[in-house]
Structure formats: C-alpha cells, structure tokens
Amino acid sequence: MWVRTQDKDNLINCFSFGIVEDRYQVWADDIPGRGFNIIASYDTKEQATKVMDMIQEHIENTHFDSLSCNYLTGAGNVQVPFQTAKAVFQMPAISEVEAMLSKEKEWTVEEILKREG
C-alpha cells in the first residue's frame, strides 16, 4: 500500500504498520528485515490509534494488485511479495485527527442523549 508521510516528503510502499508506544509515532515497513520508517507522529495514543483505524479502513476498502519485487541484500537477491494500489493514503496531520476525534465524541454524546430521551 502506498503511503505519503505526514510531512509529505516521502511516498513509501508499505506492507505492515504499527505504533511506537512511548512516542505515539506510526511506523511502516517497506522491505522485510530492513527496519521501519516513522511515517507520522502524534500527541496522544488516541490519535495514533485513530490513524491506525483509518489505515485499516483504507486497506479494507481498496483493491490491491499482488506483485513481487527483487531486492539485493547482504544475503543475496531476495524476492519480496507486496501489494500495491492506485490509491495513496496520506498520513493526516495532528489537527485533522483531533478534529475527527472531537466529531466522534460529539456524535457519541448526541447518541447517548437520544437513547436517554
């Protein structure tokens, strides 16, 4: 899946994602065994988790084509399967995530009031 980093400087074809727990950074792997790239940073775990939810939704709602690519590593030539899509996921800014979370919380309060009323 193609992802554009939060700072918009890089496009990375990623195959796994996670959160650096103590810093609320979202990471992505592009080549197995090479380490990971920090693709975004957030102020809270709630924000980082929301972005992971958005990535999951993007994956679930996007058609991917399966491909493979050869990488030359210290151990020789390694064939790595990956999936690609025409849609690029843009890592959102902190302010965008905060606005989404605020809207969700308002909706939840409205739903509670409707159920109580």
pLDDT of residue 94: 93
Q: Which domain holds residue 54?
A: 2-116
Q: Give yes or no for a contact between 53 and 75, defined as CB atoms under 8 angstroms apart.
A: no
Total count of domains within the chain? 1
Amino acid at 41: S
pLDDT digits (tens, 9 = 90+) for 39-95: 999 999 999 999 999 999 988 887 666 555 555 555 555 555 555 555 788 999 999
What is residue 22's three-state secondary structure? coil
Residue 18 structure tokens: 């996670």
- The answer to pTM > 0.85 is no
Mean pLDDT of the chain: 81
Sheet holding 11-13, edge to edge: 11-13, 2-4, 89-90
Angle at 58 between CA 38 and CA 21, to 5 degrees: 35
Separation of alpha carbons 110 and 50, rounded Å: 20
- Sequential DSSP letters for 64-80: -EEEEEEEEETTEEEEE
